[in-house]
């Protein structure tokens, strides 16, 4: 599956009301480690159909970053049943990201 781009308008429907666990990548264009994270996030989206994978550009959606206390990027956040269940900060290899859903 492809990575879903989410913003403040569709966050509730795409992430909080999703019917499966969701990985959200909070990122920005000017952040080097975020650029390195992008292909890992895309691979997870392709290899793990049991997860929904989304990304939020924090430049365009500072409200979402603030709501979830995102203060470092990249932040990889796991959501289950509308609840934030875990985060990982900085570049993370695939295995570390998947641990958020273990």
Partner 1 sequence: MDIIIIGSGPAGVSAALYAKRAGADVTVITRGSGALAKAEKIENYYGLAEPVTGAELEANGIAGAKRLGVSFIEDEVVGLAMNEDFTGLVVQTPGRACEAKAVVLTAGSTRLAPKIPGLKELEGKGVSYCAICDAFFYRQKTVAVLGEGDYALHEAEILLPHAGKVMLFTNGKEPAVKIPDTIEVHKEKIIAVEAENANGMERVSGLRTEDGAVTPVQGLFVALGTAGSVDLARKIGAATDNNRIVVDGEMATNVPGLYAAGDCTGGLLQVVKAAYEGAVAGLAAAKYVRSRK
Query: Which residues carry out catalysis?
Result: 31, 34
| Nearest CA among 93, 92, 10 for reference residue 55 | 10
Closest distance to partner 1 from the beta carbon of 43 (Å): 12
Q: How far is residue 96's CA from residue 11's CA, in Å, rounded to a whole number?
A: 24
> In the chain, what are the helix, strand and coil shares in percent, each to the nearest 5?
35, 25, 40
Whether the CB-CB separation of 53 and 22 falls below 8 Å is answered with: yes
Name the one range near partner 1 by CB under 8 A: 4-12, 16-24, 29-37, 47-55. 29-37
Q: Rounded to the nearest whole angstrom, what is the least distance from the CB of residue 91 to partner 1 in the complex?
A: 4
Which of the stretches 3-11, 12-20, 26-34, 47-55 binds partner 1 when contact is defined by CB under 8 A? Answer: 26-34
Among 35, 42, 80, 98, binds partner 1 (CB under 8 A): 35
The H or E element containing residue 88 is: strand 83-89
Binding residues for partner 1, rule CB under 8 A, total 25
Of 1 and 67, the one with the shorter C-beta distance to partner 1 is: 67
């Amino acid at each position: 599956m492809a990575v879903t781009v989410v913003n403040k308008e569709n966050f509730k429907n795409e992430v909080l009301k999703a019917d499966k666990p969701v990985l959200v990548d909070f990122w920005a264009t000017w952040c080097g480690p975020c650029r390195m994270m992008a292909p890992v996030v895309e691979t997870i989206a392709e290899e793990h159909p049991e997860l929904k994978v989304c990304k939020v550009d924090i430049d365009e959606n500072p409200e979402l970053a603030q709501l979830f206390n995102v203060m470092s990027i990249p932040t990889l956040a796991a959501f289950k049943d509308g609840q934030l269940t875990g985060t990982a900060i900085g570049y993370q290899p695939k295995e570390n990201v998947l641990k958020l859903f273990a």
